[in-house]
Amino acid sequence: MCKRFRLVVLLASAAFAMVGCQPSAVPVISGPSSDQQTISVSELSQLLTLRVDDRTPTHMVLRRMGNTVMIFTHKGGSVYVNAKEVGKVSRIESNEVFIPRSLVSKIRSMLGTPEPTPLPEPTPPSVSGYVVIDAGHGGEDPGATSCLGYYEKHINLAVAREVADLLRQRGIRVKMTRTGDYYPELEDRAALANRLNADLFVSIHADSSPKSSTRGYTLYIANGASRASQRAARALEGAMSSTGLSSKGVRKANFHVLVDTVGPAVLVEMGYLTNRYEAGLLRDSSFQDRMAQAIANGITNYLR
């Protein structure tokens, strides 16, 4: 009897195990992946400058310069670039579609090189002095540390150099407060602008916040800022909307470089290094180019 009982128990256990291994009739949606593993389609479109051309209950179509990205919007749906499959959708969450972050570089390589944004033509603005571009921090002052581990000072300098090059291409005289990884004193930065009778001083920074969810770019002018400074800040704010980031508006604060500069002066905070998404963008060279183009366009619009 005991042997027969044990046999029944063993057979029942095996049957239960087999049933447990069978796929469920109800689809199981996996839990959220970490931010490092997936990226939303909205974030992808901003990162790669793709526009959403079509969205239906079954698929999305994104385009850029004759390239097409099609994403079937269900878990496990395929992602195609120019009719070639590159991977699968990871998950759907609150009507947002997420794909593996590992696909970003593959999609970018298949999109080809975007054409540069046409520069303003043909007449350069009339500039009596210079535009002074200040790459914030530098040297022993690293600025903020991003949540991805890099320093603000390097991003500031990379974007500032590109802004200066773009302005020079447009016939605008430019001076930079620093061209390498060293630290000019704050009063020396403003003094350079004053000595050159600068038409505009623009200090370039990246922001930080105790809240990792805080996002967006911000423009700062001094509390007693002139109308010219206010106009320059508005011109930069409008142009920077082309980056795809949200604006936190024009704010007032008595930063040294703003107060000590005699002429029009604006401080730009390009985005938040404490936000994983924006920190990822600001580290990306193609997004740095977009940011520099936007800042240069804002400066050019103001000078006109």
Catalytic residues: 269
Q: Return the structure tokens found at 127.
A: 């500039």
Per-residue exposure over 12-42, b if at least 16 CB sit within 10 Å of its own CB, e if not: eeeeeeeeeeeeeeeeeeeeeeeeeebbbbe
Cα–Cα distance measured from residue 94 to residue 167, given in angstroms and rounded to the nearest whole number: 43
Cα 171 to Cα 26, 125, 164, 199, 295, distances in angstroms: 65, 8, 11, 14, 16
Left if phi > 0, otherwise alpha if psi is -120 to 50, otherwise beta: which for 174?
beta
Which of 85, 87, 86, 91 has the alpha carbon at shortest distance from 73? 91
Which of 181, 222, 227 has the alpha carbon at shortest distance from 203? 222
3-state class (DSSP) for residue 84: strand
Q: Return the structure tokens found at 241.
A: 């909307």
